Structures are given as C-alpha cells and as structure tokens.
Amino acid sequence: MGLGVGLPKRFIRLAVYVIALVVSLLVLTGSLRSAFPSSATNVQRLISKKLGLEHEGQVIIGVGFKECWKSSSKCGPDPGWDRANDIGLASASDSWKMIPKDLYLGRKWLTKLHIFYRSIPAEEILGESDVVVDIAIGNPKVDTAIPENKQGYPISLLRDMNSKATSPILKVPDPEDVVNAGWVRYDHGLWVKFGKYESHTALTGLNVLFGRDCEDPRLGWDVVLESLAIEGTGTGGKTDTIARSREDDKEVYLSYKREPVKNPTMNLNYREDGSFKILQVADLHFSTGYGHCRDTFPKLPADAGECFADVRTTAFVDSVLDIEKPDLVVLTGDQVFGDEAPDAETAILKALNPFIRRKIPYALIFGNHDDEGSLSRKQLMDLAVTLPYCMSSSGPEDVTGVGNYVLTIAPPNGNKAHAAASLYFLDTHKYSLNPKTNPGYDWLKEDQLKFVESEYSRLKPQRDAYTLRHMAMAFIHIPLPEYRDVNIDDQARPLVGNLKEGITAPKYNSGMRSVFGKIGVSVVTAGHDHCNDYCLMHSETTDDQENSVWLCYGGAAGEGGYAGYGGTTRRIRTFELKSQSGEIKTWKRLETDPDTKFDSQKVLNMGNVVYQI
C-alpha cells in the first residue's frame, strides 16, 4: 500500500508541515552554529601559531563543548556561555577560542565535537572575577569504588576538597560544599574549578591530545590522567597500562598549563674530553595512539599478544639514550606516520618526549610522511621550535622547503666565535612534482645548493678562528642519487652495513654531493630506506681522496614503518666526533640487543676521510 492511501488530506498536510519544520530547524541549527566568531579563520590562526600554547598573559575564564555539523564551515560557542557581565571583567575584549581538533577524531559521519575555552589578558581581571584554577575528569570505574561517593566525584576533586584534612582517607563532601568550593560539572566527565585570580594557580593554556600513550613534555604543562567521556571512552586512564587495547586510542585527554615557563637556552659544545656524540634516530613512524607493528623481526611468538608499535619503539629509544647519553639527537624524518596520525601534534610530542624528558638537545628534519597527517611541514616546525631543547629552525623563507639550517659545535670552552664542527640540515621534500618526466622522489633544489655554499662562506670566520681540525656532517631524509654508486670502474666501493632494498633516491641529480665534497662535508647520513643501514665511501673518481664523502643510512628505528627484506630488526646509529684527533666513528645498536655495538668503523681520521676499511 502506498503512503497516504486512505488517509485524510489534513493528516497528509500535517505530515508535510512537520517535515518542512524539521528541515527548517536543521538549516537554522546549522546557521546558528555558524553564527559565532570562532570561525575557520580563528582555527587557522591557532594552527599556524603554537598549537595549544596560547598568548602569554592570557588567563582562562571559561570552557565549553560544542557539537557541530561537519557541513558547517563555522563552529562557535553558544550565546549562553558568555559570562562577561556576571564576573566583573574590566572590558569585553575577551574571546572564545576553539581548540582545532575534533574530539571524535573524524569517526562520526555528520558531526564533530570541539572544546572551547575563553581567555582574557590578566591585567583585565578585576579583584572579584572568577577564573579557572583547576580541572578534573571523572573515571567511573575508580570514582564509584570510593565509599559513599554516590555523586561520582573525580578522585582529584576529592583530593582538592580534602587538601586540608589530616586523615589520608578521602571524605566525600556534600554537594553544596563542592559548589561553594567553585567546582562546576560539565559534559563528558569534566569538572572545572573557578576561583579568584592568582598568577600561580590560574590556568593559562589548554590543549587536547589523543590516546592513552599521549605525552605533553612542554615545560609547565601537565596531562590530566583521566580521559574525557567521549563515545563510550572515559573509563580508563593513563595510569591503567596493564591491559592495553585499541580502544585506548580513542581516548581524549586534556593538558593544561599555569604559569609560563621559559625554555632553557641550549648551546652545542664539545665535552671536556673533546668528544661529541650524535644519535641519529631515523623513521620513527609514530601514530596517534599506540600504532601498529609492521614486519616485526624476529617474529613474535603466537602467545606474545598484540604488538603496539609506538610503545615498543619508545622503549628501544629509551634504552639507547640511557646507554649512549648523546650530546645531540638528530631525527632524520618520518617522525610522524601520515594517515596513521590524524592528530599529528599528539604523535610529534610523543616522539620527542624521550629527549625532552632527559634534557637532551635535538634537531629534526622532515620526511615524505610527516606532513601527511593533520599538520603541514610549516605547522610541524612552528610547533617544534617552541618545544624545550629543540635546536631546529624553519630556515630562510626564500629557500625551498622547511628545515634548511646549520648548527655549529663550539669547543669545550663554549666559545661561539669558534666553529669546531658544522652540521648541515636540509629538507629533501617528498615526491617529484614532475612525475611524468622525473618519476619517484623530489630532489634538492638549486637554491638549497646556494644556501649551503652561502652558509659555508658565512661561517668562515668561525672556522678560521678554531685552531684544531674543523669537521662537517650533513643530515637528510631521502638519500642522494650517489647512494646508488656502490661500484666504481667495475670495483666495489668500501661499504659497511646492509644494502637490502632498492635505493629510492631521486632520478634527477641536482649536484648536492659535489657541493658537500667541495665544502669539506665528510659524512652525509639519511633515512627513508628502512632496510638499508650501510655507510658507503664515495669519491667522484677512483683516486680522488680529497673529495671523498661517506654516505650513510641511519636504519629505521620505528616499529610502525615497514621492514621485511628477509627480516630487518630496528636499529639506531651513533656518530662520535673527537676534536683532538679530528676523527669521527660510527656504530649501530639493534632493538633486540641494544647493549651491543655492531658495524663499528672510523670514517674520519686526522681530519681526513678514511678511504679504506
């Protein structure tokens, strides 16, 4: 029977009116949700600046959640969130800011969920104004296990309410006392405490991170240990690491800061014994969440349980850091694993956490996967340079790419006027922009060659002031075309390590290898080809020792990237420079046996490239 057959016309008209009303309400709702000022322009401003790191001197005075249609280009706060007239602000110059992250992480087809916070300059706060001084998130499994906690107050809220108690047993307060203490309950398990402004208690920044293994290593920032209740999550927490599961990746965490903490000023100096150790960490391939292991070798036994890539990789990196205790860590690209990192900020903070936690300076460049997640190269570098112990730079805007820069190592006395060593970092880009004529990967550009030559000339006074042998290295992601030259005049070149897979260097050779040779770079080291870890002694002619360069691979460290080729264990390479003898030694360590060095070799001696092995 067709719809409406036998029904009075008035019922048919009523149904049409109801349908029309529903459609109108949906359109109106979309319009209302687009009517407030935290538009795409605000989002882009937040992303292009320091993600999660707000303007200094701002104080948070409110928070709120908002679910919006994905089809809407704008998503703003509800009018009812505006409390400016209620809390005695000095002016109305405050604004709501949307953290530009969908708390659903893109899992919903039609809607997205955002958290907003409202901040104003500290000098505009009046004496009786309320500001946000604390946040807590409930965990029903833990909170309801506390006797008499029928309200399900978060344990951190209970600790705050019992802060002056002498008994270690947490007393559950009356609801009226909770309200009087300034605590307000929000959606998704969030509690916010309001109080009078004091510089050491007021919250000044708020951010969102994903997955139970997330970290926020920025100085002055803390991660709330419980996750928000989003789509069935919120029953775990960062302290629950015994029974890991893929559901943990959906968990949403808040990090916050109070008083701003300045990053320390870092300098690179040789140690008192004249040594300087560089750890090359290549191809971490970190994800948002635990990450999936690929081509693990040796293969795990059947009863080993699921392999979580980032957890295992972090444990490997931690062990090598504790063994080597490097003076500098260089990450040579693909720290972030593209589509596996729908929130690239979570992935990069997690990747850099081991170095920041140990206060080790680090420098990074990008690979072909880093900007395939939620952030561009520029946005990733803009974030990185705000982090503690980071030595990186975006480089000149008129040079192609992001991350073209030079670092120098000073003598043990720290005299910056003397360059004892130079380290060149270059962006090797991604895929060829002309795949029909030059398929495969992109190449270093002419302006990058000129940049290297210009920096070499600029640093001449510092090199000349240094009385011992100056040494130079270069760090790239995609290897140079000369990495393919394993033979010369039908003879095998000196090579130490494994050549397991095809060398995916650019088809076009722009000549950077020759530039490196001319300016005295003795070692170039790359990532990208995970199963190659060799060092190749390369000269442009058979007897040209003056223009010889060792071309090395770091070998991949990350369990999240591919391996294979007969079985390849993850590895990390170390370089040790010795200023007195003008030598560079290198070796590697395996994930399965980090205590043992292998493939140890000397690539530079008395300032000269070691021509034979």
Percent of the chain at pLDDT > 90 equals 73
- Looking at residues 539-562, what average pLDDT do you find? 86
State the SS3 of 282-343: ECCCECCCCCECCCCCCCCCCCCCCCEHHHHHHHHHHHHHHHHCCCEEEEECCCECHHHCCC
Mean pLDDT of the chain: 88
Whether the predicted pLDDT of 482 surpasses 90: yes
Give the pLDDT confidence score for residue 484 in this predicted structure.
Answer: 96
- Residues whose CB falls within 8 Å of the CB of residue 6, separated by 6 or more in sequence, listed in order: none
Q: How far is CA 153 from the centre of its chain?
A: 33
Q: pLDDT value at position 56?
A: 64
**431: β partners:** 441
What is the C-alpha separation between 579 and 411, in angstroms, rounded? Answer: 8
pTM assigned to the model? 0.88
Supply the pLDDT for residue 316: 98
Residue 48: its pLDDT value, please? 38
CB 131 within 8 A of CB 61: yes
Residue 547 pLDDT grade (very low, low, confident, very high; cuts 50, 70, 90): confident
Q: Which distant-in-sequence residues (6+ apart) come within 8 Å of 222 by Cβ?
A: 216, 255, 256, 257
- In 3D space, the residue among 195, 65, 81 whose CA is nearest the CA of residue 134 turns out to be 195
What is the per-residue pLDDT for 10? 47
Instruction: Give the residue with greater pLDDT, 257 vs 541.
Output: 257
Q: What percent of the chain has pLDDT over 70?
A: 87
C-alpha count within 13 angstroms, C-beta hemisphere, residue 345: 26
Please give the Cα distance from 179 to 151 (Å, whole number): 13
Task: Answer yes or no: is pLDDT of 11 > 70.
Answer: no
How would residue 441 be classed by pLDDT, with cut points 50, 70 and 90? very high
Question: What confidence category does residue 39 fall into, taking pLDDT thresholds of 50, 70 and 90?
Answer: very low
> In Å, how far are 77, 83, 136, 245, 412 from 188, measured between CA atoms?
17, 21, 11, 21, 54
Does 87 score more than 70 pLDDT? no
Dihedral over Cα of 358, 361, 367, 369: its sign: positive
Model confidence at 546, in pLDDT bands (50, 70, 90)? Answer: low
Confidence of residue 30 (pLDDT cuts 50, 70, 90): very low
Element (H, E) at 344: helix 344-357
Per-residue confidence (pLDDT) for residue 3, from 0 to 100: 37
| Token code pair at residue 455 | 């920096």
pLDDT, residue 439, reads: 92
Per-residue pLDDT, 466: 96
Q: Are strands 593-605 and 608-609 parallel, antiparallel or unpaired?
A: antiparallel
Query: Per residue in 492-515, pLDDT tens?
Result: 899 999 999 999 999 999 999 999
Tokens 């919903």: give the residue.
108
Domains of the chain by range and CATH? 37-257 (2.100.10.50), 275-609 (3.60.21.10)
Listed residue (372, 314, 246) closest to 560, CA to CA: 314
Helix (H) or strand (E) holding 46: helix 40-48
N residues, the chain: 613
Chain segment 146-199, per-residue pLDDT in tens: 989 999 999 999 999 999 888 888 899 999 999 999 999 999 999 999 999 999
Q: What is the pLDDT of residue 85?
A: 37
Determine the average pLDDT of the residues in 592-599.
98
The pLDDT of 96-109, averaged and rounded, is 93
Please give the Cα distance from 441 to 507 (Å, whole number).
Answer: 7
pLDDT given for residue 544 in this prediction? 60
Q: Which helix (H) or strand (E) holds 362?
A: strand 362-365
Q: What is the predicted pLDDT for the residue at 519?
A: 96
User: Mind listing the pLDDT tens digit for each residue in 120-138?
Assistant: 888 888 766 789 999 999 9
Integer Cα distance of 369 and 449 in angstroms: 23
Each residue of 242-280: pLDDT tens digit? 778 888 999 999 999 998 899 999 999 999 999 999 999
The answer to whether the peptide bond before residue 298 is cis (omega within 30 degrees of 0) is yes
Contact at 8 Å (CB) between 59 and 122?
yes
Q: Which of 325-334, 381-390, 545-554 comes out lowest in average pLDDT?
A: 545-554
